[in-house]
Structure 1
């Protein structure tokens, strides 16, 4: 079942494991009832040395998941687009307003694996979910339009855990396409910063190279400037500030998240 998952798709299995751990905490920041099923179905695809990476990424994954959940539900957009949707089940686990249309873009192999697991759980989406198999380094915009996306209607875009896997050129190309597809009032959010702290800790952990060798850096700290130059109004928040807001202990870091409105 997992043999066809690409390397980046396999990292989504590890993230699902961390969401499952967070969901079992009495003080959990979110509840993902499908995360355990994703992990159990995909764990054989993970490297044998994976266990040491959990503590490195656990806090970051918990904080970003909660932050993005709140961002998407508060955006007030009738269209939602999850770029590199991975194995998060937001279409199924969040209370979407009536009429919400949610597009999940990811590699066809990842979406096929995801759909098989969700079908086995009898999961039903709480919105209109449209899965779009596409490589974000190719012409994914055409595939999104063909699936029914309306560029005249405001959309909330999310690129969770994505830009770090893209080169600066690919990140620029992807966000340019997002801008061209966005009606006034649209929003976008993704991680902001260099992730230097995470990178150093992951590299120092046994098995960490399986993840860090895939990282290319994206826009790094230039994201707010890039967004302003392309007509967006950005705002940033650090992971440290969010940890304090959520009552969690986390490393002191300037890395965090950017949101922007067009």
Structure 2
């Protein structure tokens, strides 16, 4: 498990971000062990490794873990609702939906992430058959990745579902706009998008200070620029908390509060000109 090192052994940004995928897997494993679990990820414990559990215990709060639980369920529900035959997971990390999710027959799932993240996951799950037509695509999403997706069989004229889970906060603002521009270009009308964001104040969240770079106070406006009609939830809202996220957020207009957003959006029209 040396491919993705913990923060204590790899302080620089480029190595911590891949290691955070193991921390997310550790939290999904914890959720999966609960009797009242919101989802079941039978592979998360293996993928996380002991160091990631230790880092979660040292660095994150129970509410952080509840957030990952409701975020995972929120996006699972979005995928079920979308009924898309092609799904794109951007910065998929150690997400195992390609192996655990009950896709309908013939679904194509495209996973894009750093080569070391995908190879680590594929190696550990080499004896586990995917539940879809699985297309792992090594890519740096801050660089050119559109052609790699198209060459792997993605059909931009067909409806799709996209997940951008746990990514945008790590990018610079110009990288966020570049990414959303490509996603919009490759998405036909009626496609779905699931994405999580933090607000501007949330960039300073202690455990990730120095790693979070981008926040957005009004995700609806950002996504509308790219032709998406968005519905935005805070994790304590009805429709997003699933009875698990108990810390109540204040109304969004209250200033100087760190916030996280869970967003589902549908492609409705052409993006505005930039």
TM-score bucket (shorter structure): 0.7 to 0.9
Which structure is higher in helix share?
Answer: 1
SS across alignment from 1:221: coil
Any runs of at least 4 consecutive aligned residues in structure 1 with deviations exceeding 6 A, and if so which? none
Picking from 16, 20, 27, the partner of 2:36 is 27
- Whether the aligned pair in 1 keeps the contact of 2:87 and 2:110 (CA below 8 Å) is yes
Query: Are 1:93 and 2:100 matched, yes or no?
Result: yes
Deviation of the 1:52 alpha carbon: 2.0
- Whether the aligned pair in 2 keeps the contact of 1:4 and 1:109 (CA below 8 Å) is yes
Give runs of aligned pairs for residues 169-180 of structure 1, distance below 5 A: 169-180=174-185
- Whether the aligned pair in 2 keeps the contact of 1:57 and 1:198 (CA below 8 Å) is no
In structure 2, relative to structure 1, the CA distance for the partners of 1:48 and 1:78 (3 Å cut) is closer
RMSD (Å) for aligned C-alpha atoms: 2.1
Query: Are 1:126 and 2:131 matched, yes or no?
Result: yes
Give runs of aligned pairs for residues 78-117 of structure 1, distance below 5 A: 78-117=85-124
Picking from 48, 53, 56, the partner of 2:59 is 53
Q: Which runs of 5+ in 2 are unaligned?
A: 6-14, 253-259, 268-274
- Whether the aligned pair in 2 keeps the contact of 1:155 and 1:182 (CA below 8 Å) is yes
User: How many residues matched?
Assistant: 248
Bigger drift between 6-15 and 155-164 goes to 6-15
Deviation of the 1:137 alpha carbon: 0.3
SS across alignment from 1:129: strand
Query: Are 1:165 and 2:161 matched, yes or no?
Result: no
- Whether the aligned pair in 1 keeps the contact of 2:3 and 2:116 (CA below 8 Å) is no
| Greater relative contact order, per chain length (Cα 8 Å cut-off, separation 6+) | 1
Picking from 234, 239, 259, the partner of 2:235 is 239
In structure 2, relative to structure 1, the CA distance for the partners of 1:65 and 1:198 (3 Å cut) is farther
Query: Are 1:250 and 2:246 matched, yes or no?
Result: yes
SS across alignment from 1:235: strand
Deviations 1:120-164 (A, max 9, x none): xx2111110100000000011111111111111111000001100
- Relative to the length of structure 1, the TM-score reads 0.88
Picking from 139, 142, 151, the partner of 2:144 is 139
Aligned to 2:12: none
SS across alignment from 1:67: helix
Aligned to 1:15: 24
SS across alignment from 1:239: coil
In structure 2, relative to structure 1, the CA distance for the partners of 1:145 and 1:19 (3 Å cut) is same
Aligned to 1:229: 225
Alpha-carbon distance in structure 2 between the residues aligned to 1:194 and 1:229: 18
Deviations 1:213-258 (A, max 9, x none): 211015x124211221222211112211158751224322253211
Aligned to 2:209: 212
- Whether the aligned pair in 2 keeps the contact of 1:12 and 1:86 (CA below 8 Å) is yes
Deviation of the 1:177 alpha carbon: 0.3
SS across alignment from 2:237: helix
Aligned to 1:154: 159
- Relative to the length of structure 2, the TM-score reads 0.84
